[in-house]
């Protein structure tokens, strides 16, 4: 049974699923949709065209779906989508987008820790972890299963690849390839995320082949195009190798060195 605390303010236009809990002094706007089994703690603000998935947990003072901080905003209709099973801790902010039809998206089963910020038109994949105070500027793509360390700031339009791990207090201004470890100000790549690959069940042969591909990009001093040709010349690629090469090839900002 859905339970709304008597001090909460829930607009009549909001759509609440089954077994939703809304705590004291929370505010839910008229265009908000909340999925089944989601728990909204005290003092939460949900606004805009926000869809919050099933089984999410939103902790006190989080603010989701409010207007973008982009000064170019002129009243466009945009959406915010947050996937099933995602946790958003205290004081997390997820902003709406700027231009007509744009979406700010946070995937399923993410863990967004306290004081983190997701700005306009970001696309955060499934099972992403953002540690306390991690900050995403606009139009950033975070691929699934990446980890962004605490107090890390990521520049507009950067991409962070799958299973990339970014250490705390880093400054990211270029793309971070999948399966790597990145840290620093300025940021630098420090090898493969070997522990993360093992935890996600990638077998020894896949890890070995990724290590060889990584060496061609980061250890041989080759131009990017030549390194990618060398990777693809090694025969049929595993899905992980193909993704590693494709991510680098599509980089517009350049990759973190």
Domains of the chain, each with CATH number or no CATH: 3-139 (2.160.10.10), 197-249 (1.20.1180.10)
DSSP H or E segment with residue 28? strand 27-28
Burial class (CB in 10 A: 0-12, 13-18, 19+), 26: buried
What average pLDDT does this structure show over 81-102?
98
Residue pair 126/143 in contact (Cβ under 8 Å)? The answer is: no
Rg (CA), the chain: 20
Close Cβ partners of 6 (under 8 Å, ≥ 6 residues apart): none
Give tens-digit pLDDT for 140-172: 999 999 999 999 999 999 999 999 999 999 999
Burial class (CB in 10 A: 0-12, 13-18, 19+), 167: middle
> In the structure encoding, which two tokens stand for residue 238, read together?
């595993």
pLDDT of residue 47: 98
Q: What is the mean pLDDT of the chain?
A: 98
pLDDT of residue 235: 86
pLDDT of residue 2: 97
pLDDT of residue 60: 98
> In the structure encoding, which two tokens stand for residue 124, read together?
């955060």
Whole-prediction pTM value?
0.97
| Length reported for the chain | 257
């Amino acid at each position: 049974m859905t339970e709304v605390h008597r001090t909460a303010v829930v607009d009549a236009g909001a759509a609440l699923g089954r077994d939703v809990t809304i705590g004291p002094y929370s505010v839910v706007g008229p265009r908000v949709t909340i999925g089944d089994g989601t728990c909204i703690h005290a003092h939460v603000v949900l606004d805009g065209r926000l869809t919050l998935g099933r089984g999410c947990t939103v902790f006190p003072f989080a603010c989701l779906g409010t207007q973008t901080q982009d000064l170019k905003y002129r009243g466009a209709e945009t959406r915010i989508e947050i996937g099933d099973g995602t946790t958003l801790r205290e004081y997390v902010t997820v902003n709406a987008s700027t231009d007509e039809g744009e979406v700010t998206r946070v995937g399923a089963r993410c863990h967004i820790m306290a004081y983190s910020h997701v700005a306009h038109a970001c696309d955060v994949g499934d099972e992403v972890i953002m540690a306390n105070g991690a900050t995403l500027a606009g139009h950033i793509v975070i691929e699934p299963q990446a980890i962004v360390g605490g107090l890390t700031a990521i520049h507009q339009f950067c991409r962070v690849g799958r299973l990339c791990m970014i250490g705390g207090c880093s400054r990211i201004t270029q793309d971070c390839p999948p399966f790597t470890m990145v840290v620093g100000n300025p940021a630098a790549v420090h090898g493969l995320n070997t522990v993360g690959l093992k935890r996600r069940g990638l077998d020894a042969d896949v890890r070995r082949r990724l290590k060889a591909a990584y060496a061609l990009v980061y250890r041989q001093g080759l131009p990017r195009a030549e390194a990618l040709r060398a990777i693809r010349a090694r025969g049929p690629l595993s899905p992980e190798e193909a993704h590693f090469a494709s991510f680098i090839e599509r980089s517009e900002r350049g990759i973190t060195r």
